[in-house]
């Protein structure tokens, strides 16, 4: 534990931070990997790491994007199949991560922040000459055109620059978004050549920005929006893991105990997912909570209680389906 930024509370607090990989296919998702983030207060203190049982191979400081890359490589080496990589702005902003994914030949659609800088045409770079006899000689590359922040670029767009797309089903009808895609160039401040990217902007309740190494013309605006919105299911996976599978319900002081707990949570999540997939024909609305309660009843309750649990689940599903049908009608 250390005082660091905790996304769950939106501020710096005494907490633990970890990086996870998750497989998602629309409403089906499961966690498949995790790495505990060790702040410098830990990695600089070898005695502290030794007392907590941190293996020597894990005592080096790695940033969250570096841990994310490690998890992606682990998944690839394990033979995990996936079509593209998504992530929030912390990862999309990190040029080292995106360039590494380029080298791995991995297609990504990563969120970026509104102040991210882009070029609307391909820039060239050169070290400028000295403007006067005084002062240091310039040594850094400079672009020949101005970069623009995303929050300023969107102000130049009109309604005609967006298309209205159906992006996913919800319990209250189709979710729509206004979608804009354009080819841009992104520079990390060091490279001799900017990287060509596809910028994806969606506007609904919020405005979201993503950069991708995929070719803009290869996909429709609807498909680009699908790539971006897929992160919604990952967040739902975290909610289910915390609320139903005990992901945040632990008190451990050692490295191995933390790893064991997270492994059990991921195994439980994968088992629940297998139940949901297996019961799709009979119970298409089966939630993680429903499945958890059913597993508990089957293993620890009488047949009468199991039947009662199933009856309650079916009542909830009928009510939920009626509500869904009403919104779509």
Q: What is the mean pLDDT of the chain?
A: 93
Please report, for residues 105, 205, 239, 248, 269, the alpha-carbon distance to residue 278 in angstroms, rounded to integers and kept in the order given.
33, 34, 22, 27, 14
Give the DSSP H/E element, type plus range, for residue 21: strand 18-25
Which residue is associated with the tokens 């991210």?
116
For residue 243, give the 3-state DSSP assignment: helix
CB 112 within 8 A of CB 209: yes
Which tokens sit at 68? 């994310």
Q: Could you read off the pLDDT of 196-217 as tens digits, one per residue?
A: 999 999 999 899 999 999 999 9
What's the pLDDT score for residue 9? 80
Q: Where are the beta strands (DSSP E) in 93-222?
A: 108-112, 117-118, 125-126, 142-143, 148-149, 163-170, 173-186, 195-203, 207-212
CB 187 within 8 A of CB 165: no
The residue extents of the domains of the chain are 86-93+108-222, 255-328
Q: Could you read off the pLDDT of 6-48 as tens digits, one per residue?
A: 877 888 998 899 999 999 998 899 999 999 999 999 999 999 9
- pTM equals 0.92
For residue 263, give the 3-state DSSP assignment: helix
Ranges of residues in the chain whose predicted pLDDT is under 50 = none
């Amino acid at each position: 534990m250390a005082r660091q930024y905790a996304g769950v509370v939106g501020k710096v607090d005494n907490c633990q931070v970890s990086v996870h990989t998750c497989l998602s296919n629309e409403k089906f998702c499961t966690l498949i990997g995790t790495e505990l983030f060790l702040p410098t207060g830990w990695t600089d203190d070898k005695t502290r790491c030794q007392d907590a049982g941190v293996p020597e191979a894990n005592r080096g400081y790695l940033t969250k994007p570096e841990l994310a890359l490690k998890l992606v490589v682990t998944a690839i080496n394990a033979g995990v199949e996936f079509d593209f990589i998504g992530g929030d702005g912390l990862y999309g902003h990190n040029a080292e991560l995106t360039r590494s994914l380029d080298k791995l030949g991995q297609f990504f659609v990563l969120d970026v922040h509104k102040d991210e800088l882009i070029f609307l045409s391909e820039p060239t770079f050169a070290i400028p000459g000295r403007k006067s006899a005084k002062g240091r000689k310039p040594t850094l590359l400079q672009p020949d055109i101005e970069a623009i922040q995303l929050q300023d670029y969107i102000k130049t767009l009109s309604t005609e620059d967006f298309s209205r797309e159906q992006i996913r089903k919800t319990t209250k009808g189709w979710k729509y978004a206004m979608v804009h895609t354009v080819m841009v160039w992104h520079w990390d401040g060091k490279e001799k050549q900017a990287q060509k990217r596809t910028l994806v902007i969606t506007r609904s309740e919020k405005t979201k920005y993503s950069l991708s190494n995929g070719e803009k013309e290869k996909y429709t605006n609807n498909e680009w929006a699908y790539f971006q919105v897929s992160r919604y299911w990952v967040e739902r996976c975290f909610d289910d893991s915390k609320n139903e599978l005990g992901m945040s319900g632990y008190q451990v002081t050692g490295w191995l105990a933390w790893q064991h707990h997270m492994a059990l949570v991921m195994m439980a999540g994968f088992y629940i997912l297998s139940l949901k997939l297996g019961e799709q024909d009979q119970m298409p609305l089966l939630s993680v909570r429903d499945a958890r309660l059913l597993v508990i009843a089957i293993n620890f309750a009488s047949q009468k209680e199991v039947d009662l649990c199933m009856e309650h689940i079916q009542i909830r599903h009928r009510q939920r389906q009626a509500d869904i049908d009403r919104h779509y009608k």
